[in-house]
């Protein structure tokens, strides 16, 4: 089966295993495995089960057709190794499967949402950001307090992954693949950076919707210009210009390091977003980063290496979590709510709900019980 060959190659490389390694783990000869991976032989069910267990995946992951995107916008600034490329490919397969399940739930429950930002948009990213805020009903002088809910109400799906892929913070897909949908990589990223990534990909959907799935994505110079436009859109969507200037002036009595930290806390963004905005008119961004890093280290005896987010809104975070907003400050809720509704209406089984939420069956049963025991509002 062609699907088995495609899936095996991707999963084996993603696991960092050679053909000999995987064959040994599965208890078969290297030649027998090679014939399966190259499609020369069809494995028996017990052999396929042994291979799936060696890879620590479900057997269905080996035999199902691999979903693909026609309109995926994904860009990494770093060249990837063979294993990293395989991991990226596997993450995108999982993403596609999730989006397909999301669409099926919406259809099953008749809860599809129209895309509110599909109409004509200004080509200027600052004007586009203002128009998007108006359409979404955001107050001109207010921070965006709950971006996941804002974009969900706009008909944009939000997907989170946790992948150790260098240089990858996010991706997005267009409407032709059941989107629009934004994927955000949480791995090693503070919640403040996740918020900016979401707004950045939103900028691509609004400003560059025609480029999804087109040959324009192969033009590196055009892509570079579009990345800059998406950054500008995101910074103005999260920090409206007049409010940004007003807050900056109001904090004029503070040390400039503290002024940056005050604005980042007010707008719920990374300090780097504030520096980006300060660089728009007259301050070169590299010099601002250098001066801020030096000033912060002198003032607080701490450097800004390893994606450290200064003056985090939540000081105490779980072990191995980057400092920043709390776990519940930025999370996707609609998908799990649709699963709950489908489960309560008998449209899906507990095991299917566990599969969709990527939970062990016992954990899914505990979650379902908590839903049954929760107080009425």
In whole angstroms, what is the distance from residue 359 CA to residue 148 CA? 22
Domain spans in the chain, listed from the N-terminal domain onward: 2-66, 82-300, 334-373
- Does 2-66 carry CATH code 3.50.50.60? no
40 burial (CB, 10 Å; 0-12 / 13-18 / 19+) is: exposed
In whole angstroms, what is the distance from residue 273 CA to residue 296 CA? 16
In whole angstroms, what is the distance from residue 91 CA to residue 136 CA? 30
C-alpha distances (whole Å) from 288 to each of 44, 274, 350 are: 62, 10, 53
Q: Do the Cβ atoms of 276 and 257 come closer than 8 Å?
A: no
Which DSSP helix (H) or strand (E) runs through 172?
A: strand 170-173
Helix, strand and coil in the chain, % to nearest 5: 60, 5, 35
Phi, psi of 160 (to 5 degrees): -115, 140
Q: Do the Cβ atoms of 99 and 159 come closer than 8 Å?
A: yes
CB atoms within 10 A of CB 198: 28
Phi, psi of 230 (to 5 degrees): -65, -35
Q: Do the Cβ atoms of 173 and 99 come closer than 8 Å?
A: yes
pLDDT in tens, 67-79: 888 888 886 667 7
Q: What is the pLDDT of residue 316?
A: 38
pLDDT in tens, 90-125: 888 889 989 999 999 999 999 999 999 988 889 999
Tokens at residue 314, please? 């939540």
Q: What is the pLDDT of residue 307?
A: 82
The class of domain 82-300 in CATH terms is: mainly alpha
Q: Do the Cβ atoms of 12 and 90 come closer than 8 Å?
A: no
In whole angstroms, what is the distance from residue 154 CA to residue 238 CA? 16
Find all residues with CB under 8 Å of 10, minimum gap 6, and list them. 66, 86, 89, 90, 93
State the Cα angle at 276 between 272 and 278, rounded to 5°.
115
SS3 of 63-123? HCCCCCCCCEEECCCCCCCHHHHHHHHHHHHHHHHHHHHHHHHHHHHCCCCCCCCCCCCCC
Locate tokens 């240089």: which residue?
167
The pTM of the full predicted model, rounded to 2 decimals, is 0.85
Parallel, antiparallel, or unpaired for β 181-185 and 157-161? parallel
* Residues in the chain where the model's pLDDT stays below 70: 1, 75-77, 214-220, 312-329, 377
């Amino acid at each position: 089966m062609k699907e088995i060959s495609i899936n095996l190659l991707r999963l084996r490389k993603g696991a960092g295993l050679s053909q000999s390694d995987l064959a040994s783990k599965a208890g078969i000869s290297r030649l027998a495995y090679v014939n399966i991976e190259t499609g020369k032989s069809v494995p028996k069910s017990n052999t396929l089960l042994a291979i799936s267990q060696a890879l620590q995946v479900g057997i269905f992951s080996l035999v199902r057709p691999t979903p693909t995107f026609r309109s995926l916008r994904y860009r990494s600034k770093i060249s990837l190794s063979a294993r990293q490329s395989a991991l990226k490919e596997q993450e995108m397969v999982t993403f596609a499967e999730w989006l397909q399940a999301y669409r099926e739930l919406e259809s099953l429950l008749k809860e599809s949402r129209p895309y509110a930002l599909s109409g004509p948009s200004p080509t200027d990213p600052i004007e586009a950001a203002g128009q998007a805020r108006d359409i979404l009903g955001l107050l001109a002088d207010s921070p965006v307090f709950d971006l996941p809910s804002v974009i969900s109400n706009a008909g944009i799906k939000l997907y989170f992954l946790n992948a150790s892929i260098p240089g990858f913070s996010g991706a997005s897909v267009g409407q032709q693949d059941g989107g629009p949908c934004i994927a955000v990589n949480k791995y090693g990223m503070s919640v403040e950076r996740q918020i900016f990534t979401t707004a950045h990909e939103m900028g691509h959907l609004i400003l560059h919707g025609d480029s999804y799935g087109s040959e324009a994505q192969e033009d590196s110079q055009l892509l570079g210009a579009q990345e800059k436009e998406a950054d500008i859109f995101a910074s103005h969507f999260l920090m409206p210009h007049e409010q940004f200037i007003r807050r900056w002036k109001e904090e004029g009595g503070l040390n400039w390091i503290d002024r940056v930290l005050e604005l980042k806390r007010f707008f719920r963004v990374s300090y780097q977003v504030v520096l980006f905005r300060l660089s728009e008119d007259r301050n070169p961004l590299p010099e601002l980063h250098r001066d801020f890093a030096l000033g912060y280290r002198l003032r607080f005896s701490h450097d800004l290496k390893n994606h450290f987010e200064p003056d985090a809104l939540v000081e105490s975070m779980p072990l191995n979590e980057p400092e920043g907003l709390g776990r519940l400050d930025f999370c996707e809720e609609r998908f799990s709510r649709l699963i709950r509704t489908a489960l309560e209406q008998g449209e899906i089984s507990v095991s299917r709900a566990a599969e969709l939420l990527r939970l062990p069956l016992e954990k899914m049963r505990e979650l379902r019980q908590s839903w049954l025991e929760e107080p009425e509002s």
